[in-house]
Amino acid sequence: MKGLADKVAIVSGAGARGDGIGNGRAAALLLAEAGCQVIAVDRDIALAERTVEMIRETGGVAEAAQANVTTLSDCEAVVAYACKKYGGVDLLDNNVGIGSTGTVVTEDLDRWETVMRVNVDSMVNMSRAAIPEMVRRGGGAIVNVSSISALRPRGLTAYSTSKGAVMALTRAMAVDHGGEGIRVNCVAPGPVFTPMVEGDGMSEERRASRKAATLLKVEGTGWDVENAVMFLLSDAARYVTGQVLVVDGGVTLQGPSR
């Protein structure tokens, strides 16, 4: 992808169960393949290290970093590590997120706060730590991963609210930092099959139903999401900022009855 070679990229949520391909791992692998030097970040260092092993097996350059990205000091440590290893930061892919069910009446309030902290604060913290280094290097690009649940709520109120906040955060950051040469965009995935989804016990019937709900009648994967992220991080999107790119196979174009 144009303009990615020799860039330093931080990918949060870069681990995945086993050798599965989640959004973060797909991003780390694709960025390394494009010539980036990658910092693969995960709360579980073993998962991040497996991602790095996969990158190195194909000749890529990467290091693993353990961090709880809901903590600013951990995010600052990741950025400091990237600067120490590779001299700075150019790109940031904010992937971390968790789900939840319930309404404003039924949702546990502690869970509500946890969802907001993981899904929104993590992106604020990583961006807060990375942006000064991007400015020092003359600019950069950030992609925040949201969800179509922000556009089409479906009984996941805390999750939908947090992902809507990610979209608003993206636009605000684009305004705040465009003059510093930093582009900020957002990807909103639809139902994609990842190790996290599989680990949550999705049945084959439910998996088939999600596939059928798309206009294209195909199952989305982490690769689909992160190919969109790659475009937004690359110089091919040099004139694109503050935008939300929906990657859902057309799910949001159909009525609920379909």
pTM, two decimals, is 0.93
| pLDDT reported for residue 50 | 97
Question: What does pLDDT average to over the chain?
Answer: 93
Instruction: For each of the domains in the chain, give its residue range(s) and CATH number, in order of start.
Output: 8-246 (3.40.50.720)
Per-residue pLDDT for 218 more than 80? yes
Average pLDDT over residues 152-173: 95
| pLDDT reported for residue 37 | 98
Give the pLDDT confidence of 49-70 residue by residue, as tens digits: 999 999 999 999 999 999 999 9
Q: Which of 81, 86, 159, 239 is catalytic?
A: 159
Paired with 61 in beta bridges are: 37
| pLDDT reported for residue 111 | 97
Average pLDDT over residues 202-216: 78
Q: Which phi and psi (to 5°) does residue 192 adopt?
A: -115, 150
For the sheet containing 91-94, what is the strand order? Answer: 61-66, 37-42, 8-12, 91-94, 140-145, 182-189, 244-247
Paired with 63 in beta bridges are: 39
| pLDDT reported for residue 64 | 98
Which of 101 and 129 is assigned the larger pLDDT?
A: 129
Rounded Cα distance between 107 and 141, Å, is: 35
| pLDDT reported for residue 196 | 62
Annotation marks residue 159 as catalytic: yes
